[in-house]
Chains A and B, each alone.
Chain A
């Protein structure tokens, strides 16, 4: 958890009670899958978008909850899609993969779906349709009044709805972190777009700036402009931290649920 800004997302489950675990599926530790298995082929070819356990990732949907997979019998629906891809949705073709490998991937996805479907008490899935209840016009108005100081629909947010779907888009909108940028199983992505900047002023008056690694009561650590890790005792220097995400944190106490759904509806138009 050292990617943090001064505000860390508490991954529900990291500290959560014994009575009530959290986190959709426990991350599986242990050795990597044996080469050539469906799991290994899926990890190599599909996990980047669909998540290591096929329950959805940065840009690909949850395959255990997919109508296509549900309708598939022995690859009759999945094989053609994997071969040709879905260019309109950003999925590349996997024409070079031998059919035997694709069939192993199909079997693996079905096994994952069975796992999820036979865990009746576990957490359920949220689909993109579930959260599409807001008004685009109201969302645009809210955006113009509250978000436009930092964000531009035609600039930094252009195409955001193609990068993040459904729940991931909603989570990123509320508070973007490495954790909800991609499925945690992939280790997430570095938070470059929202890096927290820090400036340290030494007793001599000299300043050093960089990208925050962590800050606590006693030390501040960051990567300086040359890419070198630096740390200083907070008692010896002046520390100024600029967290661009603070505005997101401040909004949480102000949003109505309608505001959130309207904003999501507006962001979903930014394909």
Chain B
């Protein structure tokens, strides 16, 4: 299956900007409600976070014929961790400090934007957001940059947090009606957890939601942190945005912040117009292992125990799969989907109860999952046809250390990975039972998951293979050695052809069926 002559199709990243074939109309929030099949207009593709496409041209029977349409090489070293965003035939791809606009038919570069060099933390970038004729990028040094979609020039730039205090950003903003929701990161320092809404036209701040109390209103012993660094999901009927929140700080010193540390390591439901909290559910009360609950809160309307419900599902970094009623936040299911050894049971709210013996200690504690978690930022997918929630899972162990001498600032401890094994797991959403699993042959996946209405699933393994599997049973249908995938796949249809686009190392690969 290594018959592709990739080099022949590499798009050289030095093509002058081409005039677009047609003037782009761009999109506003209403276009994300029902995304056109020739678009992928927001991080998850739509507001639900299901990463399940209605396209059916590529099927379990013909996927074996997939061939290369084009390759776009960023020419940089960073592995692509972003979801490409597609509007009006133009694909926007980002890595920390960089955005490329690429012709989605040919893979040719239209323009490239580089944020001024900075010393902030360059760990990854999730993707851009688009609105009308603007493209939005968050930067490691905590600016929100609005670029003109036509040529990549800067329309405005606004500071979203103080990078000198330890904030950075990797966030793909979420556009909801007239609001651009932007999250930040930072847990080497004790910082308030903030999600901010900006006016997409001019970049004015509309509201701020604090997970761990407003600055000046906290008291000693309160947790800091709880950063919302991943893109949330949105239910237009309930007018609620769902966002996962990060770990408390100090990270490993739980004694410095007694109690559950609300709303860290939680799923929060917010009104996008005001930033006010409707409800919260805590995945780990009093986390001491850096297990953000930032993973995608996937929205599904489906029966649960025979009753039709509006559900929210999350495979959380702490190794547990949660199903909630997304109207009220009431927990319906809590079940491990990866190796866990840190909880003594489940409390009345449906949150696992941490075992204090697994808190970091002077002589070390062996804990599953490890710091990377039972899963991480990589997107899961929900396939309505089979009722399967498919997640890149890791069975891993780490050793966690804490002693009072470490103090109560920032990390305030030490932890080391010991061993991990990556498995793609398909969960029955009503029971959390693993219906099938597919060995990723390594320590962890790193790739997101995409499913389509024809019953095909796309992801990547630990060894640099892009994979197509049968969603129903996880059997392998196709593979291509594109390099290690750190991003979620997307799919779209242009000129009657269905494309699947996947990252491999620092390049983007577009596959189609032969004409």
Contacts and interface: CB of A to CB of B under 8 A. Distances in A.
B366 A131 contact: no
Contacts of A171: 399, 416, 418
Nearest to B464: A216
A48 to B, nearest CB: 21
A24 B406 CA distance: 14
Contact of A12 (B190, B417, B476): B417
B267 to A, nearest CB: 15
Interface in B224-256: 227, 229-230, 246-247, 251
Among B1, B396, B418, B479: residue with most chain A CB under 10 A: B418
B339 A253 contact: yes
A132 B363 CA distance: 7
A120 B409 contact: yes
Contact of A121 (B398, B403, B409): B409
B446 A174 contact: no
Task: Categorize the interface residue count of chain B.
Answer: 35 or more
B121 A10 contact: no
B444 interface: yes
A126 interface: yes
A130 B401 contact: yes
Given A126-B414, A253-B339, A20 B465 contact: no
A124 B376 contact: no
A9 B420 contact: yes
A258 to B, nearest CB: 10
B370 A217 contact: no
Q: Is the interface of B mostly helix, strand, loop or mixed?
A: loop
Interface string B347-387: 00000000001000111111010111100110000000000
Nearest to A11: B417
Nearest to A18: B170
A175 interface: yes
A121 B185 contact: no
B446 A130 contact: no
Given A175-B419, A216-B461, A130 B363 contact: yes
Interface in A1-36: 1, 4, 6-12, 15-22, 24
B487 to A, nearest CB: 12
A121 B418 contact: no
B411 A124 contact: yes
A217 B461 contact: yes
Interface stretch (B13-21, B65-73, B435-443, B491-499): B435-443
Contact of B414 (A125, A175, A218): A125
A191 interface: no
A261 B397 contact: no
Given A17-B229, A171-B416, A252-B397, A10 B411 contact: no
A157 B364 CA distance: 23
B107 to A, nearest CB: 26
Contacts, number: 187
Contacts of A12: 370-372, 398, 415-417
A19 B188 CA distance: 10
Nearest to B126: A18
A22 B419 contact: no
Contacts of A24: 414
Contact of A21 (B121, B357, B399, B406): B121
B192 interface: no
Interface in B188-247: 188-190, 227, 229-230, 246-247
A57 B422 CA distance: 28
A47 B412 CA distance: 27
Nearest to B409: A120
B486 A19 contact: no
B141 interface: no
Contacts of A17: 123-124, 229, 292, 294, 317, 372-373, 376-377
A257 B357 contact: yes
Nearest to A22: B371
A140 interface: no
Given A126-B414, A130-B403, A16 B372 contact: yes
B139 to A, nearest CB: 13
Interface in B413-436: 413-422
A217 B437 CA distance: 13
B463 interface: yes
A133 interface: yes
A1 B376 CA distance: 20
A174 B418 contact: yes
B229 A18 contact: yes
A218 B479 contact: yes
Among B1, B189, B339, B411: residue with most chain A CB under 10 A: B411
A17 B441 CA distance: 21
Interface in B435-493: 439, 441-444, 446, 461-463, 465, 476, 479, 486
A41 interface: no
Given A123-B414, A216-B461, A9 B363 contact: no
21 contacts: A4-B442, A6-B442, A8-B444, A9-B420, A16-B123, A16-B372, A17-B317, A17-B372, A18-B123, A18-B229, A19-B292, A20-B185, A21-B121, A121-B188, A174-B366, A174-B397, A174-B399, A216-B441, A217-B441, A253-B368, A261-B364
Q: Please list the 7 inter-chain residue pairs (A to B) with the smallest Cβ-Cβ separation, ordered nearest first.
A: A121-B410, A121-B188, A18-B170, A8-B443, A10-B443, A216-B463, A216-B441
Given A122-B410, A217-B439, 12 more contacts: A12-B416, A12-B417, A15-B376, A16-B376, A121-B187, A121-B188, A121-B410, A170-B399, A171-B399, A171-B418, A174-B366, A217-B461
